[in-house]
Amino acid sequence: MPVSLLLTPFPIAKPRQGGQVRAASVARGLTAAHWTVHPVGLYHGSFFRRSERGAADIVLDRPEVAARASDDVLFGDLHVAKAASRDPRSLAALRDALTRLRPDAIHLEHPWAWLALREVLPSGPRPKIVYDSHNIEWAAREALFPLGLNRPDAEAMLEQTRVLETELAREADLVFAISDLEAARIARAAGRPVVYLPPASDLALLAPGDGMGARGERYAALMGSAYWPNVEGFFDLFPEGLGFLARDEHLWIAGELGAAIRADTRFADFAGVNEARVRTPGFMEDRAKPDFFGGAVCALAPVRIGGGAKLKTVDAIASGRPAIVTTHALEGLGSVVEDVLNQGVYVADTPTDFRALIRRAFREGLTGCPPAARARLSLDRLSMTVDKWSRKALGENPCP
């Protein structure tokens, strides 16, 4: 049974945002394929709840690092990674993990921990390095410059991120990419093959639940983290609030996104209308998601910015409900969705068109996503892919 050290820039015991969900899916996929998986997070403790930390996580605690990362939020991950690569205690803990666990492969989620890992890898035989790119980090950050988050040294930080990603893609024994478009782009930059590893959703093979609407309440379902691009996407597509819905039509916003939207001043601009039509049930455990989506008339992915493949979109499609999404929300999913456009997946890119599709779902009904499309996003599919290619990197044949 091969051993994997799964190295992440966050804890994954209680995944709350897309990157954590992706890494947790990879861990579960490897475990299902008979790997022994040891998750090790390398991150600053200020940015995650203490209750979420894994027993083997390596946690930085220097306040000046947290301050630097908070001040330059666009490159916060890079600031923390650079600090970890110069921190003797973090490097010693990482070196100890390699010695103690003796992994056959190090599955590196995101590129950031490579800065520290390369400092402690042995000069002789070493574990195989498997890099899972969640998105092209430098390109995703450049796209966020218009939001005003770039600092005076943003261009230099952008170039450091690009160099880091390219170096890791060239040095790794295997590279996965969550997006088919980005897989091709990384392959061109690194001059080596890259394997497309689509995201997975627990909803893909589950029967829809009975719904969560009180007293038969009809609702559209939206789930997401408080990550600020998610908030921007919401207000971009609903700039005039939710008055386009009838009084008995509601929008349920699950996850930490609901609280973030309610706290935004733009929500208050139409508070009277919005409050009557919004429900925010908060963070939702995996076991509650089938009911949340199962009772919805449609599932939404109002995504405008961000790289990789969007897990909000994946959950919307995997739920089996009619998925109303933007063109950007579908980027990177390629063959997963091409045969269900307008037959389960409905695309709109303007507030007017997006709202019109939601009204159609409430008042006329739309066809939901078929089982074949949902199955492409299953954990079983991810497990087979990550196991097959990881074992090839080890020089083994994958399990049948």
CB neighbours of residue 137 within 10 Å: 22
Pick the closest to residue 180 from 328, 24, 335 (CA basis): 335
pLDDT at 208: 65
| Dihedral, 309, 194, 336, 251 alpha carbons, nearest 10 | -10
Asked, for residue 209, whether it belongs to a domain, the answer is no
Domain of 54 in residue numbering reads as 3-200+379-393
Enter the pTM of the model.
0.87
Asked, for residue 208, whether it belongs to a domain, the answer is no
Residue 98 sits in the same domain as residue 8:
yes
Contact at 8 Å (CB) between 139 and 107? no
Contact at 8 Å (CB) between 201 and 318? yes
Asked, for residue 237, whether it belongs to a domain, the answer is yes
The widest CA-to-CA distance across the chain, in whole angstroms, is: 68
Residue 98 sits in the same domain as residue 125:
yes
Residue 386 sits in the same domain as residue 348:
no
pLDDT by residue, tens only, the chain of 400 residues? 999 999 999 999 988 888 999 999 999 999 999 999 999 999 999 999 999 999 999 999 999 999 999 999 899 999 999 999 999 999 999 999 999 999 999 999 999 999 999 999 998 899 999 999 999 999 988 888 877 777 889 999 999 999 999 999 999 999 999 999 999 999 999 999 999 999 999 888 776 665 665 557 899 999 988 877 889 999 999 999 999 999 999 999 999 999 999 999 999 999 889 999 999 998 888 788 888 998 899 999 998 887 777 888 999 999 999 999 999 999 889 888 889 999 999 999 999 999 999 999 999 999 998 988 898 999 999 999 999 999 999 998 655 4
Residue 106 sits in the same domain as residue 238:
no
Please give the Cα distance from 380 to 106 (Å, whole number).
Answer: 21
pLDDT at 118: 97
Tokens coding 332: 């990177």
Residue 248 sits in the same domain as residue 191:
no
CATH number of the CATH domain containing 111: 3.40.50.2000
Residue 174 sits in the same domain as residue 159:
yes
Tokens coding 278: 């919004």
Asked, for residue 218, whether it belongs to a domain, the answer is yes
Please give the Cα distance from 303 to 305 (Å, whole number).
Answer: 6
Residue 67 sits in the same domain as residue 132:
yes
DSSP collapsed to 3 states, the chain: CCEEEEEECCCCCCCCCHHHHHHHHHHHHHHHCCCEEEEEEEEEHHHCCHHHCCCCCEEECCHHHHHHHHHCHHHHHHHHHHHHHCCHHHHHHHHHHHHHHCCCEEEEECCCCHHHHHHHCCCCCCCEEEEEECCCHHHHHHHCHHHCCCCCCHHHHHHHHHHHHHHHHHHCCEEEECCHHHHHHHHHHHCCCCEECCCCCCCCCCCCCCCCCHHHCEEEEEECCCCHHHHHHHHHHCCCCCCCCCCCEEEEEECCHHHHHHHCHHHHCCHHHHHCCEEEEECCCHHHHHHHHHCCCEEEECCCCCCCCCHHHHHHHHCCCCEEECHHHHCCCHHHCCCCECCCEEECCCHHHHHHHHHHHHHCCCCCCCHHHHHCCCHHHHHHHHHHHHHHHCCCCCCC
Pick the closest to residue 326 from 337, 335, 262, 318 (CA basis): 337
Asked, for residue 400, whether it belongs to a domain, the answer is no
**Radius of gyration of the chain from its Cα atoms, rounded to whole angstroms:** 21
pLDDT at 398: 56
Residue 132 sits in the same domain as residue 259:
no
Residue 60 sits in the same domain as residue 100:
yes
Asked, for residue 230, whether it belongs to a domain, the answer is yes
Count of structural domains within the chain: 2
Residue 167 sits in the same domain as residue 238:
no
CB neighbours of residue 219 within 10 Å: 25
Asked, for residue 398, whether it belongs to a domain, the answer is no
Alpha carbon distances (Å) from 344 to 54, 316, 367: 39, 10, 5
Asked, for residue 265, whether it belongs to a domain, the answer is yes
Tokens coding 200: 């997975």
Burial class (CB in 10 A: 0-12, 13-18, 19+), 101: middle
Tokens coding 333: 């999913």
Residue 194 sits in the same domain as residue 220:
no
Residue 162 sits in the same domain as residue 291:
no
pLDDT at 210: 57
